[in-house]
Structures are given as structure tokens and as C-alpha cells.
């Protein structure tokens, strides 16, 4: 062949057309639109896993936000002083002078005590059998108790100087529910005497024992029920910057003779511990969500493998028209990524909706971290790319004659 003929041959050689990213995405979308039911079921598997993970993280974050909100409202500067035990296991008592002695500590802002009356019980009326106490304890309470524990009154009023000396009773939230007593003015049979209900309290998160108590005035307890005046629990509010210092001296101040027989605790630590427990459970649930997401990824891979087998004629025709192996691989990887992205977006929306509904029912603030939604979508894309890689490579290796012959 002459030089002119060889030059003409070089100028007329064909080069495969390049596909832009938009073209590849368009081809992938076309493949998904031809099998809507299968695409929906595969995307649903991904969506369930993502929704589980987003909902778990969202509910955990909302719970943590609720705990923080409650602690901000109630304060973390409350300390609780209670009698401990002697070395031989006997229960001790706090001195009657414990409250005034604690009040002398400089950084202490509020002090109030309750004294449980072990021999007293409260009933809705005098005809209730003696043993059916509804597990409601009777306790003498000081007028300063409510601000010390961060409590509030739901109905009626709190014990004031005008009522603390008379047979008046205030019920905690749980005690009112157990006795079915909510109306101020009704009478309750308490310690063998009639007491008038003057108020019902809201739940007290930092002092849950108050919720199941029937509270009467300190002096009224002495007058009507022969209360000995020894406090069973003392609630202390200290300056925020001196809580630890106050805690270190409370036991010795409350009972100088036997400081080792005094228990000092910080109720807000219990809420923080509960939050830590819920965080541990969150890790377990996240693992379960990850398993569901992995199962969804297997479903995507299965869908793409079947798609390659069903579309061999299409692959052969495209190869015969000049499509390269890389373009075929890119098309199927794009389909897998689009399928996973649909599942990831749907799962994120579903998980956020579940979190919002749960938080609304529990009266919590709704909080879904942005990183959780972003991580969910990123993980689905990674799983989609991995799941679609083998089918894409398999499709790219098919020669035109092999693909058309298999049809």
C-alpha cells in the first residue's frame, strides 16, 4: 500500500465517543426506570437500614437534649444528705440539728429536710383495709422544701406558715395517682386522723422519692403523729462553683460525731448516668441498623447482577455500536449509586420523621445531628459502589458477540 493510502487509513480511524458524567447518570437513570418495582424493593432495603440508624442517633440526641434541658432548668447544684449504716449494718439517724448546722456552711444557698414517719400510712378513706397503703410514704416536710428540690405545684398550694401546723397534706405526683386524689379540699385518712388535701405537686426529677410521698407540715407531724424531729433526707443547694467543696464537708457537718455514717449524693449525677446507659444502648442499636444496611447492600448487588443477566442484548448492542468496556462499567456503577442514593435519601427522611414523632410523643426537643444524615447517605453510596462493582465489571467484560449470542 502506498504512503498516501496509509495516511488516508490513519485519518479515517474511529475513536470511541467520550461520555460526560451527566451522560453516565442519564444512562443509569434510564436503567432504573425500566424496572420500577425491583428498584423500589431494593431501595427499600437500603432505606430501612438508614432509617434505623438515623432514628437511633436522632432519638438518642433528642433524649440527651431533654436531659440537658431539664438539668438547665433544675440545676446541678443540689446535694442530697441521708443517713447511712453503722459498721454492723444498723440504719443510723441524722441529728435534729443537721439542718441548722448545714445552713451555716458559707456557699450553701438553700436547705430543707423531710422526715419519713415509718409508722404512718395514708388512705383515700377510713374504710380501706390497713394493708392497702398503695406504697405511699408519709413524711414531714419543711416549708423550704419545694424551692430546694426545684419542685412546683400542679393544683392547690404548698404548705405555708398558715397550714404547716394544721392537719393538711400535699401529695406528690405519683402518690396522687395511686390514691386517685387530685382535688384540694378532699379529706384523706392519714395516721388514724383526717387530713385535708391542700395541693398536688408536679413530678420532681431530682427527688423522685417525693413523688410517692404524702407531705405534711413539720410541726403538724409533731402534734398529730408524734414525729421525733429527726430528718431522713436533707436537700442542699450550693453555689454552682462550690458544689464539690460543699459536698466534701457535708457529712462532717451533718453528723460531726459519725461522719462516716452519712451518705452524700448529687441527684443530677443519676440523670447523667442514665444518659450514659442510654448511649451504650444506642451503640447496640446502631450495630443492628448497620446489619440492616448491609443486608440492603446485598439486595442492591443482587439486583444489579440480575440486571446484567437480563440486559445482555442491550450490552451487546451497545458494544457493537462502539461503547467501550469502561463505559459499560460506568453505566452499571451509576445505576447502583443512584439506587443506593434513593434508598439513603428515603431512609434519612424516614428516620428523621420517626425521631420527630417519638420526640413529639415524649415532649422532647427534636434533634437529628447533621452528621448522622450525611453519614447515612455517604455509607449508602459506599455500599452501593461496592455492591455494583462486580456486576459492572462482569458487564464490561462481555464481548459484543458473546452478549448477542446469549440473547
- In a domain, residue 380? The reply is yes
pLDDT per position as a tens digit, 252-309: 999 998 888 899 888 767 555 555 555 555 666 666 667 766 776 777 777 777 777 6
159 and 247 in a single domain? The answer is yes
Q: Do 195 and 300 have their domain in common?
A: no
Q: Does residue 16 sit within a domain?
A: no
If DSSP codes are grouped into helix, strand and coil, which group holds residue 153?
strand
- Does the reported pTM lie above 0.85? no
Last residue of a domain, one of 243, 266, 289: 266
Q: Quick one: which of 185, 189, 181, 177 has its CA closest to 127?
A: 189
The pLDDT of residue 402 is above 80: no
Same domain, 46 and 87: no
Angstrom CA distances, 299 to 68, 141, 392, 394, stand at 40, 64, 15, 17
4 part of a folded domain: no
Q: Which of 87-101, 279-293, 305-319, 346-360 has the lowest mean pLDDT?
A: 279-293
Q: Judge if 174 and 234 occupy the same domain.
A: yes
Q: Are residues 250 and 280 in the same domain?
A: no
Higher-confidence residue of 239 and 70: namely: 239
How many structural domains compose the chain?
Answer: 2
Residues 90 and 210 in one domain: yes
Boundary (domain end) residue, out of 229, 249, 266: 266
**pLDDT per position as a tens digit, 136-169:** 999 999 999 998 988 899 999 999 877 888 999 9
Looking at the structure, do residues 103 and 134 belong to the same domain, yes or no? Answer: yes
| Domain of residue 34, residue span | 21-70+273-406
| CA distances (Å), origin 312, targets 19, 291, 395 | 21, 32, 8
Q: Do 321 and 396 have their domain in common?
A: yes
Residue 214 and residue 126 share a domain: yes
Per DSSP, the three-state class of 194 is strand
Do 373 and 309 share a structural domain?
yes
Q: Where is the domain boundary, 221, 239, 266?
A: 266
Checking if the pLDDT of 5 tops 50, the result is no
Instruction: Please give the residue that has the higher pLDDT: either 363 or 235.
Output: 235
* Between 1 and 396, the higher pLDDT residue: 396
Amino acid at each position: 500500500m502506498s504512503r498516501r493510502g496509509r495516511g488516508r487509513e490513519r485519518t479515517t480511524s474511529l475513536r470511541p465517543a467520550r461520555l460526560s458524567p451527566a451522560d453516565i447518570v442519564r444512562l443509569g437513570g434510564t436503567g432504573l426506570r425500566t424496572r420500577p418495582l425491583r428498584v423500589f424493593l431494593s431501595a427499600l432495603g437500603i432505606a430501612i437500614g438508614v432509617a434505623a440508624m438515623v432514628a437511633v442517633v436522632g432519638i438518642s440526641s433528642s433524649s440527651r437534649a431533654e436531659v440537658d434541658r431539664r438539668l438547665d432548668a433544675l440545676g446541678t447544684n443540689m446535694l442530697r444528705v441521708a443517713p447511712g449504716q453503722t459498721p454492723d449494718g444498723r440504719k443510723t439517724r441524722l441529728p435534729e440539728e443537721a439542718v441548722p448546722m448545714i445552713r451555716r456552711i458559707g456557699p450553701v444557698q438553700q436547705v430543707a429536710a423531710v422526715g419519713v414517719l415509718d409508722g404512718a400510712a395514708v388512705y383515700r378513706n377510713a374504710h380501706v383495709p390497713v394493708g392497702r397503703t398503695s406504697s405511699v410514704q408519709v413524711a414531714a416536710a419543711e416549708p423550704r422544701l419545694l424551692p430546694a428540690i426545684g419542685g412546683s405545684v400542679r393544683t392547690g398550694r404548698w404548705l405555708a406558715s398558715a397550714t404547716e401546723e394544721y392537719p393538711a397534706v400535699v401529695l406528690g405526683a405519683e402518690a396522687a395517682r395511686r390514691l386517685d386524689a387530685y382535688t384540694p379540699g378532699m379529706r384523706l385518712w392519714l395516721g388514724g386522723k383526717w387530713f385535708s388535701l391542700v395541693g398536688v405537686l408536679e413530678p420532681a426529677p431530682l427527688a423522685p422519692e417525693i413523688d410517692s410521698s404524702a407531705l405534711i407540715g413539720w410541726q403538724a407531724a409533731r402534734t398529730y403523729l408524734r414525729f421525733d424531729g429527726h430528718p431522713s433526707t436533707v436537700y442542699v443547694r450550693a453555689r454552682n462553683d462550690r458544689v464539690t467543696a460543699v459536698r466534701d464537708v457535708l457529712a462532717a457537718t451533718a453528723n460531726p460525731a459519725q461522719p462516716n455514717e452519712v451518705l452524700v449524693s448529687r441527684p443530677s449525677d443519676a440523670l447523667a448516668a442514665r444518659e450514659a446507659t442510654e448511649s451504650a444502648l444506642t451503640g447496640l442499636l446502631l450495630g443492628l441498623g448497620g446489619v440492616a444496611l448491609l443486608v440492603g447492600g446485598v439486595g442492591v448487588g443482587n439486583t444489579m447482577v440480575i440486571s446484567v443477566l437480563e440486559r445482555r442484548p442491550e450490552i451487546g448492542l451497545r458494544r457493537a455500536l462502539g461503547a467501550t468496556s469502561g463505559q459499560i462499567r460506568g453505566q452499571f456503577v451509576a445505576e447502583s449509586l443512584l439506587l443506593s442514593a434513593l434508598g439513603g435519601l428515603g431512609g434519612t427522611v424516614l428516620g428523621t420523621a420517626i425521631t420527630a414523632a417519638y420526640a413529639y410523643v415524649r415532649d422532647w426537643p427534636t434533634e437529628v445531628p447533621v452528621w448522622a444524615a450525611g453519614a447515612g447517605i455517604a455509607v449508602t453510596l459506599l455500599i452501593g459502589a461496592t455492591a455494583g462493582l462486580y456486576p459492572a465489571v462482569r458487564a464490561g467484560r462481555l464481548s459484543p458477540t458473546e452478549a448477542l449470542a446469549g440473547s
